[in-house]
Structure 1
Amino acid sequence: MNSEVINILTMAKVIQTAVAPVFLITGIAATLGVLSNRLARITDRARQLERKLKVSIDEDFNKSLTTELRALLKRSRCIHIAFSLSVLSALLVCAVVMCLFLSHIQSINLSVTIASCFVAAMALLIFAFLSLLGEVFLATRSMRRGMIFADIDLSD
């Protein structure tokens, strides 16, 4: 077999190796969609509460609105952290794919760099999911405290 054919086969192997991280990027993109939707819902609710706060003169009602706004701010911080970590994770996965090809094209050993980028990407993704979990806990805690379902009888 001549060297050009071997080179093409080797490049095909590199492409096959790069496919798995590309699927991971797709999964991260789906996660970013979920995070964007959650942040949009939080933002919409905060705007709604701010409008109510501006027109209300009832002190107790305003205090409950302010409490809920604080809870929404905490939730939005968690989503912001999760979003940022997810994007950084996706960027590192892109770096893994790029390094795979550079390693082949330049015939240099980037295995430590590739492994380090992948491990860092996974760590960032783990922390992003933990931050999302924290936001979900905050959301359910708000519900349990009666901020959302205060007017519903839950005794059934």
Structure 2
Amino acid sequence: MPVSLFTNANIPETIQQATAPVFFLAGIGAFMNVIAGRLARVVDRARLLEPQVPDATGDERLRLIGELRVLEKRMSLAARAIYLCTACGLTVCLLIIMMFAEELIRFDLSRYVAVMFVIAVLLLASGMVLFLRETRIAVAALHVRQELIDLGALPE
């Protein structure tokens, strides 16, 4: 009978424990979906404005260029947030592999698993900070012209 490293492993229990971080992955995926949606809207807005710049003059040209600069900053932040969240997801995948391997080969990887978890959380937190910055820039850049507000004002 051949010798196996896996003879003492309880495979179903190992799978259950090693896949617990899958819920973490699901949350990361949902968060990335939100960021990707915002990025797509920013890209669409930039594509709409870019062709208008060559024909615009004066204040309108300055307004368009200013808005494009804000959109560029937002795209950069969203793309970096997606990068960090993707790195977080990959780290969680490695964490799952390590947890499974630890049980199967009976080698203590608990310190490495703990470090990987901390790294994953730090990557996710960094992505969330960039997302927060992107949303704050979006809100700060939103300007409704006063004459439009005055047109819609109701008598008091």
TM-score (norm 2): 0.86
Where does the alignment leave 5 or more consecutive residues of structure 2 unmatched?
A: 1-6
Structure-1 separation of matches of 2:137 and 2:62? 19
Structure 1 segments, 4+ long, off by >4 Å, are: none
Residue aligning to 2:38: 38
Give the superposition deviation at 1:16.
2.0
Corresponding pairs, count: 145
Where does the alignment leave 5 or more consecutive residues of structure 1 unmatched?
A: 1-5
TM-score (norm 1): 0.86
Residue aligning to 1:16: 16
Q: Is 1:152 aligned to residue 148 of structure 2?
A: yes
Structure-2 separation of matches of 1:125 and 1:59? 43
Structure-1 separation of matches of 2:91 and 2:148? 46
Alpha-carbon RMSD across the aligned residues, in angstroms, is 1.7
Give the superposition deviation at 1:28.
0.8
Give the superposition deviation at 1:152.
2.9
Give the superposition deviation at 1:135.
0.4
Give the superposition deviation at 1:86.
0.1
Give the superposition deviation at 1:78.
1.0
Query: Percent of aligned positions with the same letter in both sequences?
Result: 32
Give the superposition deviation at 1:141.
0.2
Judge which range, 67-76 or 47-56, deviates more.
47-56
**Structure 1 residues 109 and 65, CA gap change in structure 2 (3 angstroms):** same
